[in-house]
Amino acid sequence: MNQTIGRSDIQKIIVEGDAVVLVNRSKAFGESLKQAGLTKSQIRNVFGTVRQIDAAWDQSPDKSLRRVLLLKPRLAYQSARERKAEPLAEVLSTAIDFVVQGKDAEEQRRRFSFFVDFFEAILAYHTAAGGR
């Protein structure tokens, strides 16, 4: 069961901050990633960087936004090395696009906060499903 998350749902999660869609979609997606054999360490590898960006954002918003954008090539590299990481890379890359499309720094920060919540939920549901 390879479950992914559609662009419109990602938009609802990142742009609108729809927590109901976030919970429902990340649960199915996290479970799907576990079934595909993606490991927790493969997810946490990127999630750790996201947490670092989150912690540094208020001191350096421009640098943080740049680091968010640079997650996309990192995700592409990871999915090229490990095909089972492709669905995660696609979903997160789309979410990153919505973050950087915010009209100003305040909107980008708000969207990034939703991105962090989304990514954290995916990791949590992956772990709850037995992901190692």
Q: Is the predicted pLDDT of residue 82 greater than 70, yes or no?
A: yes
Could you tell me the residue ranges of all domains in the chain? 7-128
Closest among 57, 55, 75 to 66, alpha carbons compared: 57
Average of per-residue pLDDT across 33-50: 92
Q: Where are the alpha helices (DSSP H) in the chain?
A: 7-14, 19-36, 40-56, 61-69, 71-81, 86-100, 105-128
Distances, alpha carbon 78 to alpha carbons 53, 75, 88, in Å: 19, 5, 10
Cα 88 to Cα 27, 63, 85, 113: the distances in Å are 13, 24, 5, 18
Q: Please check whether residue 56 is in contact with residue 63, taking contact to mean a CB–CB distance below 8 angstroms.
A: yes
User: Over 80: is that where the pLDDT of 1 sits?
Assistant: no
Report the predicted TM-score, pTM, of the whole model to 2 decimal places: 0.95
Express each pLDDT in 90-99 by its tens digit.
999 999 999 9
Neighbouring C-beta atoms of residue 115, cutoff 10 Å: 24
Q: What is the pLDDT of residue 81?
A: 92
pLDDT at 131 over 80: no
- Stretch 120-131: mean pLDDT: 92
Q: How many CB atoms lie within 10 A of CB 8?
A: 9
Distance separating alpha carbons of residues 57 and 33, to the nearest angstrom:
29
The 8-class DSSP code of residue 103 comes to S
